[in-house]
Amino acid sequence: MATYRAFEVTGAQNFKLVDRELTAPLPGQVRLRVEACGVCHSDVLAVEGLREDPSSPLVPGHEIVGVIDAVGPGVKAWRVGERVGVGFLGGHCGECQFCRRGDFVNCLDQPQTGTTVDGGYAEVAYARASGLVRIPEGMSSVEAAPLLCAGLTTFTALRQINARPGALVAVQGIGGLGHLGLQYASKLGFRVAAIARGADKAALAAELGAQHYIDSSVDDPGAALRKLGGAAAIIATAASGASMTPLIPGLAPRGRMVVVGAAPDPISVQTTDLIFGTRTVSGSLTGSSIDNEDNLEFSLAGGVHPMNEVLPMADAPKAYTHMLSGQARFRVVLEMV
């Protein structure tokens, strides 16, 4: 096969299905035959023209699972035929000051898959070897794809908190991130509170592992958390700074709110809520490729499953529009068929 099909975007939501020339991977890279690619809200950076040069064609998609069919010069740890994944962080450089200190997530020379380099809305993808994630046996490519970003994001956030087993941990939002966050929090042994708008999500929250449900359209979520004894941690997944603000007073002393939902509006914080109680608000950005392998192994062993709607790769523009509408329940995955 001399060419492969890919969906390129230019400008805002201008999708075009093209044939691209199949090339050999560069030094330090591998080439994948894509089997599945998740459609994530972060794809708006590419599709809506929010990158540095939206006039330059780019292939979106950063929840990629595929099989290696070629390895570039200098690649030693990966072989043709291995099934691997690639997440949003496309592989650390290993040379910058953050890499030298082992902080690979904050690498200064790391591509963002599907945003600064081509992603997975295609039959073929290319990736740095340092960004590859081994997919465990027993996990399908469709199942693995959303876990590479949405799963890793919430799993990493929960691993950062200093909370004992049985402590109250709240997950705000029951969507693409939150429905996984509830499962991880429950499987990690925390007492879990789900926070969302409307009573209709209470039953689903319980199925996903929540012992408590807070309807933020009826109750002040911070006050509700205090009635439960205060949250050792809150994982904020809803893309709304205004909805995160009232959560902070619900933290227990030394509690921490970890923000993973990228919102267009700011979070407002009362200084006294931070000082009295020594509380913390912080952000978290996915994780490294080896963290992702831990995430997949934990998900497989613990029974953490994304709720997916699956469409063929040929329907990528439709899948993106469906994701953006907020009607998807809860992840959209493109499958190569």
Q: Is 99 left (phi over 0), alpha (psi -120 to 50) or beta?
A: alpha
Using CA atoms, how far apart are residues 192 and 168, in angstroms rounded to an integer?
Answer: 6
Using CA atoms, how far apart are residues 119 and 37, in angstroms rounded to an integer?
Answer: 9
Instruction: Return the CA Rg of the chain.
Output: 20
Structural domains present in the chain: 3-134+307-335 (3.90.180.10), 152-283 (3.40.50.720)
Using CA atoms, how far apart are residues 251 and 168, in angstroms rounded to an integer?
Answer: 10
Q: Is 265 left (phi over 0), alpha (psi -120 to 50) or beta?
A: beta
Q: Which two tokens stand for residue 110?
A: 């790391």
**Peptide bond before 330: cis, by omega within 30 degrees of 0?**
yes
pLDDT tens for each residue of the chain, 337 residues long: 799 999 999 999 999 999 999 999 999 999 999 999 999 999 999 999 999 999 999 999 999 999 999 999 999 999 999 999 999 999 999 999 999 999 999 999 999 999 999 999 999 999 999 999 999 999 999 999 999 999 999 999 999 999 999 999 999 999 999 999 999 999 999 999 999 999 999 999 999 999 999 999 999 999 999 999 999 999 999 999 999 999 999 999 999 999 999 999 999 999 999 999 999 999 999 999 999 999 999 999 999 999 999 999 999 999 999 999 999 999 999 999 8
pTM of the predicted model, to two decimals? 0.96
Task: Give the per-residue pLDDT at 332.
Answer: 98
